[in-house]
């Protein structure tokens, strides 16, 4: 099953390991037992049991490599199928279980979408739901779905449509054994199959076929059918006339139905790089040698891997989720899983109001006017009769459209820098005093601060980050808040590991993720599931700093001291361990000179850009030249900066109980008594229960200046921009443009919160010249902390002044 549809050809031979050596061995082995009557279907070993594994394998080899198939000359396509499958229909499932990868995953994704929609509509497991499994063969897909849904109760009708009588007979026996009366096995060309021939009350005017002419020619097929789910498992690649079959699926699928496909493929990214509707290209590219080899190998069995099949599927339907994977069991054969829907859920060729509202341009209080990039993309696609970008088929409007193949996004190589946010959100909320009327724009980082702000229930939150992976991490947290109980949520983000993460991703989280975020976490599920790995908080660019600390602790023999520090009950005990054991190792001249003060380490591990490093050196020079004539080195500047950062932390905050930022660095996880506020059980309950708190979130993957440029004037009340201004060269136009953008987007009285590695950064004067009143609300003095991170020399709140006399929006700059 699951690999046979109308007009399908033998798949079986392709699943032997693709080398001539393996094929030769299999052929010799099959020929050696040729006298055995393999041409007849073997008897089962018992009622409802599969034949023995050895017998199944031998029959498989014989059918694939030795048995002649001449049925096509006598009986057309159906004759060819019978010639191939009649002798091995009973062993099909045994020989394909490990070879047709991704079938269970596709079913899990489809079931998750159906379950989400049922819960959203309040229908539970009741109501009419129809599933059509195209090329369903032996019915394996339908039985396997029972792992994810109660098949007899959830679906009112299931239609298995296949063109092989032998496979259909196996399917009928399967469902008779299971007692599933809602499954109907239809041995028919899927292009002729119509739901209204079997279901009453569907939209087609012809509900009963009186004659072939009346049913299939005089009556036009409806644009949409009534199936809630249509699936194809390893059948699209074996359909000669695939265009007409794909066209026929649009009249099977209901306006809000889901179509799921899993199949083999090969393709170059050059073919699809310019398309914005493919739901992501991660892992889609197959090398030239790989494309050549797999197409030639599969072509031996008339299994076609030309890209047109998948391309046409994506053209005819809207893409919801995609995953490009490899079957490592069989030489890394490329295969894909794809979920789609009707590409237009409306009849007009003009852009519908619901799509505009989805973009957010007409929502009350939204700062994003039309036209914007998302709207431009939607209009352009509709004008060309293309599906909308996958972002428009999401179940939530959190993630805003972006072009993932732009160099400004790909420069991060699919890796986030921060696995946790390096800003003290409790201090932020005190300084900003957020309320229900605030519209907040903030840099995403790892999303911890965004969720902390959401606990204050502002009117809207706009999270901005140029790195797509940082936004993928925020999406994962929001999806987990929406779909998972607190116990699972804590294991993923509190402990950083969850052995069932992949299953949770497929079955519960996937309906709440954009396709790009889903692909990212599917590819990186090992972060949470690997028994050897250290979990989430040993990933990202910041892991290098954590690993360096572990290395230093190992070299200097103070690993036990770190464990003792985390076990201390008092601040006095912590101070003693820090001063006597840990500090001497961490602040050694060797470590500082060879590692910590190098520009490569500061950027890769800590995210310190060159301009910020120059600010640290300049402040250090100013300080030291007042007391000495010695010209300070970079190593000296970094040493002093680290001491001013870490010494007060170790001596004034108890890490194990009150400082989650350093606890996670040292322990690699949080604890129930020490963690960011979004990990509180009460916070989870509030955010999970109050859907509006998360529905007000919009995630932008772009530069901060670009997002500000698209904002409506005076639409924001708060902008939390972390240390982003430290990245600019002094006096460069980009810095001034960002300040102008902030002034334009903020209301009078709007606040900008920022931190800097300098005590008084150069750009504060630019803010003041641009109509802001600047107040330094935190200055790091040796021996004291300004927050629980204490990584920055100063913290500022800048308020947009009233009655500014500058020339226009940027006249003072």
Do both 710 and 739 map to the same domain? Answer: yes
725 within some domain: yes
The answer to the question of residue 515 being in a domain is yes
CA distances from 792 to 97, 180, 335, 523, 606 (A): 56, 65, 48, 35, 12
One domain, residues 489 and 529: yes
pLDDT of res. 36: 39
- Which among 342, 364, 389 is the end of a domain? 342
Structural domain includes residue 237: yes
Tell me if 76 is assigned to some domain.
no
Residue at 5 is within a domain: no
Residues 691, 636, single domain; the answer is no
Here the CATH number for the domain that contains residue 313 is: 3.40.50.150
Distance from chain centroid for Cα 370: 27
Domain limits for position 514: 409-494+497-534+675-700
Residues 691 and 598 in one domain: no
- Residue 625: the pLDDT is 54
User: What's the confidence (pLDDT) of residue 96?
Assistant: 57
Query: Is residue 663 domain-shared with residue 728, that is, in the same domain?
Result: no
Q: In what order do the strands lie in the sheet with 439-443?
A: 697-700, 460-464, 439-443, 716-720, 746-756, 794-800, 772-779
Same-domain check for residues 434 and 582: no
Same domain, 414 and 447: yes
- What gap in Å lies between CA 340 and CA 388, rounded to an integer? 12
Same domain, 722 and 691: no
Q: Are residues 578 and 525 in the same domain?
A: no
Q: Convert the pLDDT of each residue in 788-811 to its tens digit.
A: 999 999 999 999 998 765 544 433
Structural domain count of the chain = 4
Q: Does residue 65 form part of some domain?
A: no
Does residue 627 belong to any structural domain of this protein? yes
pLDDT, tens digit, for every residue of 676-734? 999 999 999 999 886 567 888 999 999 999 999 989 999 999 999 999 999 898 877 88
Residues 414 and 517 in one domain: yes
- Name the phi and psi angles at 29, rounded to 5: -60, -40
- Label each residue of 120-176 as H, E or C: HHCCCCCCCCEEEEECECCCHHHHHHHHCCCHHHHCCEEEEEECCHHHHHHHHHHHH
Q: Is residue 117 one of the residues assigned to a domain?
A: yes
Q: Among the three residues 620, 649, 667, which one is the final residue of a domain in this structure?
A: 667
Residue 642: per-residue pLDDT = 85
In this structure, the answer to whether residues 645 and 578 fall within a common structural domain is yes
Mean pLDDT by 10 residues, the chain (813 residues): 38 39 41 39 42 52 51 51 49 58 96 94 72 93 96 96 89 95 94 90 51 50 83 91 93 95 94 90 93 90 88 96 91 94 60 52 46 77 90 91 92 93 94 95 96 94 96 98 97 98 98 97 97 94 84 84 94 95 82 61 60 82 58 72 90 96 95 96 90 82 92 94 91 88 95 94 93 95 92 95 60 31
Instruction: Tell whether 420 and 551 lie within a shared domain.
Output: no
pTM for this model (two decimals)? 0.86
């Amino acid at each position: 099953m699951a690999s046979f549809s109308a007009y399908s050809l033998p798949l079986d031979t392709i699943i032997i390991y693709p080398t001539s050596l393996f094929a030769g061995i299999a052929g010799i082995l099959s020929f050696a037992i040729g006298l055995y009557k393999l041409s007849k279907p073997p008897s089962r070993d018992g009622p409802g049991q599969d034949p023995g594994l050895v017998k199944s394998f031998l029959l498989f080899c014989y059918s694939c490599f030795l048995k002649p198939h001449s049925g096509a000359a006598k009986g057309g396509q159906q004759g060819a199928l019978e010639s191939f499958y009649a002798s091995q229909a009973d062993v099909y499932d045994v020989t394909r279980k490990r070879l047709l990868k991704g079938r269970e995953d596709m079913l899990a994704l489809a079931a998750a979408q159906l379950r989400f929609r049922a819960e959203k509509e309040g229908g539970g497991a009741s109501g009419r739901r129809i599933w059509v499994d195209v090329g369903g063969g032996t019915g394996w897909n339908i039985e396997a779905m029972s792992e994810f849904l109660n098949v007899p109760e959830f679906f009112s009708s299931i239609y298995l449509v296949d063109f092989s009588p032998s496979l259909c007979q196996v399917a009928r026996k399967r469902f008779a054994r299971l007692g599933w009366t809602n499954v109907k096995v239809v041995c028919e060309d899927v292009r002729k199959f119509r739901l209204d021939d079997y279901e009453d009350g569907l939209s087609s005017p012809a509900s009963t076929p009186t004659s072939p002419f009346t049913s299939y020619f005089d009556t036009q097929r409806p644009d949409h059918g009534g199936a809630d789910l249509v699936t194809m498992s390893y059948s699209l690649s074996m359909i000669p006339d695939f265009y007409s079959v794909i066209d026929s699926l649009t009249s099977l699928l209901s306006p809000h139905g889901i179509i799921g496909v899993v199949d083999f493929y090969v393709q170059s990214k050059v073919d699809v790089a310019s398309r914005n509707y493919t739901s992501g290209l991660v892992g889609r590219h197959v090398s030239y040698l790989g494309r050549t080899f797999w197409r030639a190998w599969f072509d031996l069995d008339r299994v076609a891997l030309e890209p047109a099949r998948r391309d046409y599927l994506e053209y005819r339907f809207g893409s919801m989720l995609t995953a490009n994977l490899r079957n490592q069991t069989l030489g890394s054969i490329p295969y894909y899983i794809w979920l789609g829907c009707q590409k237009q859920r409306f009849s007009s060729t003009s852009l519908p109001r619901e799509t505009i509202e989805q973009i957010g341009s007409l929502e009350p209080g939204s700062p994003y006017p039309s036209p914007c990039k998302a709207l431009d993309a939607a209009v352009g696609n509709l004008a060309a009769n293309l599906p909308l970008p996958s972002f428009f088929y999401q179940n939530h409007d959190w993630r805003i459209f972006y072009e993932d193949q732009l160099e400004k996004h790909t420069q991060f190589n699919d890796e986030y820098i921060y696995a946790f946010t390096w800003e003290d959100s409790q201090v932020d909320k005190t300084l900003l005093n957020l309320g229900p009327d605030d519209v907040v724009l903030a840099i995403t980082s790892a999303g911890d601060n965004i969720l902390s702000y959401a606990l204050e229930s502002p009117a809207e939150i706009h999270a901005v980050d140029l790195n797509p992976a940082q936004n993928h991490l925020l999406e994962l947290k929001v999806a987990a808040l929406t779909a998972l109980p607190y116990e699972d949520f804590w294991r993923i983000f509190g402990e950083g590991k969850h052995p069932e993460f992949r299953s949770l991703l497929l079955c519960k989280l996937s309906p709440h993720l954009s396709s790009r975020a889903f692909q990212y976490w599917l590819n990186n599920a090992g972060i949470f599931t690997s028994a050897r790995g250290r979990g989430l908080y040993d990933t990202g660019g910041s892991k290098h700093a954590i690993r360096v600390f572990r290395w230093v602790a190992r070299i200097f023999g103070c690993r036990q001291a770190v464990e003792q520090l985390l076990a201390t009950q008092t601040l006095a005990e912590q101070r003693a361990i820090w001063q006597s054991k840990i500090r001497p190792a961490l602040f050694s001249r060797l470590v500082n000179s060879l590692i910590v003060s190098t520009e490569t380490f500061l950027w890769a591990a800590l995210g310190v850009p060159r301009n910020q490093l120059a600010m640290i050196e300049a402040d250090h020079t100013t300080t030291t030249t007042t007391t000495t004539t010695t010209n300070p080195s970079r190593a000296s500047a970094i040493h002093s900066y680290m001491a001013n950062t870490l010494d007060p932390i170790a001596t004034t905050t108890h890490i194990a109980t009150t400082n989650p930022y350093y606890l996670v660095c040292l322990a690699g996880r949080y604890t129930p008594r020490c963690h960011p506020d979004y990990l509180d059980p009460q916070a989870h309950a509030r955010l999970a229960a109050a859907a509006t708190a998360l529905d007000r979130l919009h995630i932008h993957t772009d530069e901060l200046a670009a997002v500000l440029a698209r904002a409506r004037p005076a639409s924001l009340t708060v902008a939390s921009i972390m240390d982003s201004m430290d990245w600019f060269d002094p006096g460069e136009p980009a810095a001034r443009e960002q300040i102008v953008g902030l002034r334009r987007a903020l209301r009078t009285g709007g606040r900008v919160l920022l931190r800097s590695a300098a005590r008084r950064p150069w750009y504060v004067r630019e803010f003041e010249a641009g109509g802001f009143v600047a107040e330094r609300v935190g200055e790091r003095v040796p021996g004291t902390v300004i927050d629980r991170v204490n990584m920055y020399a100063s913290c500022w709140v800048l308020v947009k002044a009233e009655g500014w006399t500058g020339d226009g929006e940027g006249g003072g700059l």
